[in-house]
Structure 1
Amino acid sequence: MKKTVACLLLGMLSQGVWALDNADQQRLNGIQQSWAHIQYELPEQQRVAAFAQLAAQTSSFTRDRPVLAEAWIWSGIVTSSWAGAQGGLGALGKVKDAKTDLEKALTLDADALQGSAYTSLAALYDRVPGWPIGFGDADKAEQLLQKALQLNPAGIDSLYFWGDHLYRQKRYAEAKVALQKALQAPPRLGRESADVGRRKEIAALLEDVNKKLD
């Protein structure tokens, strides 16, 4: 029996898959809630410093639990949000760090958090300038988003970023369908603040889409 359990654990590690324990989950929940507070409730001028502090927490999480894809996903999300709050070419280094974290998460468990690494990485490819300044690539973003939608076809984030991608590609009618579906996404337990903020972003983007379709 002990040998069987040991083999199973080794197999999980070799595949890069590891489950969150209760302490990990509580830590993850705290990071998620702090992110939503900073992103959607803090004044803009306070976000850079707040994200810097939160990034220190996510970096600690990845150091303590390097086998957890979820830790790397949220390190990437927080770092990319920090870069977005900072803005300008000076934030490009943080964006590249976020990309590295999300790619690490994909090597550990691409299905973690319903494919959130795919969604967040796609957002970077959509928003970062292309070569020679950055790594932006709309085709790569679309490939990643398609994978995210396969894993989470009714998720608020996967549908929002898909709609945003379609809008950027001037595929306005398709974007409208995706965003309307995003507004119907089921609520996420413990992510209430994030859901409220995301729905406001969806509504604002949908308004822009409708103007393009008028």
Structure 2
Amino acid sequence: MKTLPMLAVAAAIGTLALPALAADAAFDGRVEGLARSWAHVNYEVKDKAAQANEAARLAADADALAHQYPNRAEPLVWEAISTATEAGAKGGLGGLALAKTAKGLLERAEKINPSALGDGSVYTSLGSLYAQVPGFPVGFGDAKKARAYLAKALAANPRGVDPNFFQGDFLMRQGDYAGAAAALERALAAPARPGREVADRGRKGEASTLLAEVRTKLRS
């Protein structure tokens, strides 16, 4: 008989937990939706003006989710990634301003949870921005910071397609063609991500193209 109150408490806790589980599932579903939408925008929308517009809309969706869940870093990461995609599509000074916005969003995400999304995305995205944006006085690009963030990304996700691709891209920019080739080969060998087929196909296509350039450099 003494166990009955405990069982009742356990049952009550289980009942109370159901709405929380449902809320978590809804949040996860929306984050996954952002990931799928970004892959479509980044890899399947070919017109740059249309891509910039779609990326801006996706960033707005991620921003709305970030306001709804202010203690979660995942929406901020996707808002930053979408904003960076818009920056790349626009280019020029407008693109540079958007890249700076993306960096700020990622820094906010890093303070909340640097392990958000579980694949080193915060570090990968910051590293790629520091690697690709021009340095002072034009922009905030910084090879030392790029190297440090990409090292953290690879420590978090050593077999991942994204950290290895951006490591390869960075090392090529630095003239380390052998290191770039090794990283890009790892990117091409990265395991598939269920539900991320479009992103995997697109990123590995980029890795294959860049690897061909790197191999040309190595032969010359």
| Same fold, judged at TM 0.5 (above) | yes
For residues 163-209 of structure 1, give each alpha carbon's deviation from its aligned partner in whole angstroms, at most 9, with x where no partner exists: 11110101001111111111110000110100000010000000000
Matched letter for residue 24 of structure 2: D
Q: Distance in 1 between matches of 2:97 and 2:66?
A: 19
Q: How does 1:193-208 map to 2 (within 5 A)?
A: 193-208=198-213
Give the aligned partner of residue 31 of structure 1.
34
Give the aligned partner of residue 111 of structure 2.
107
Give the aligned partner of residue 135 of structure 1.
140
How many angstroms does 1:138 deviate by? 0.7
Give the aligned partner of residue 96 of structure 1.
100
Q: Distance in 2 between matches of 1:95 and 1:180?
A: 28
- Asked if 1:59 is matched to 2:79, the reply is no
How many angstroms does 1:44 deviate by? 2.3
Q: Distance in 2 between matches of 1:51 and 1:136?
A: 22
Matched letter for residue 195 of structure 1: D
- Asked if 1:166 is matched to 2:168, the reply is no
Number of matched pairs: 197
Q: Distance in 2 between matches of 1:190 and 1:102?
A: 23
How many angstroms does 1:125 deviate by? 0.4
Matched letter for residue 127 of structure 1: Q
Matched letter for residue 193 of structure 1: V
Runs of 4+ in 1 over 6 A off after TM superposition: none
Give the aligned partner of residue 185 of structure 2.
180
Name which one, 1 or 2, has greater alpha-carbon Rg.
Answer: 2
For residues 31-79 of structure 1, give each alpha carbon's deviation from its aligned partner in whole angstroms, at most 9, with x where no partner exists: 1111111111112232011111111101111111111111111111011
Q: Distance in 2 between matches of 1:204 and 1:169?
A: 18
Matched letter for residue 86 of structure 2: W
Matched letter for residue 32 of structure 2: N
Q: Distance in 2 between matches of 1:92 and 1:168?
A: 19
Structure 1 residue aligned with 2:25, among 22, 25, 33?
A: 22
Give the aligned partner of residue 117 of structure 1.
122
Q: Distance in 1 between matches of 2:181 and 2:128?
A: 18
Structure 2 residue aligned with 1:42, among 36, 40, 45?
A: 45
For residues 61-101 of structure 1, give each alpha carbon's deviation from its aligned partner in whole angstroms, at most 9, with x where no partner exists: 11111111111111110111111111111222211110011
Give the aligned partner of residue 71 of structure 1.
75
Q: Is the 8 A contact 2:59 2:78 kept in 1?
A: no
Q: Distance in 2 between matches of 1:34 and 1:25?
A: 14
Structure 1 unaligned regions, length at least 5: 3-19
Greater shift in the superposed pair: 143-152 or 110-119: 110-119
Percent sequence identity over matched residues?
A: 47
Q: Distance in 2 between matches of 1:186 and 1:43?
A: 26
Q: Distance in 2 between matches of 1:95 and 1:205?
A: 22
CA RMSD, 1 decimal: 1.4
Q: Distance in 2 between matches of 1:196 and 1:72?
A: 24
Q: Is the 8 A contact 2:161 2:187 kept in 1?
A: yes
Q: Distance in 2 between matches of 1:40 and 1:186?
A: 19
Give the aligned partner of residue 152 of structure 1.
157
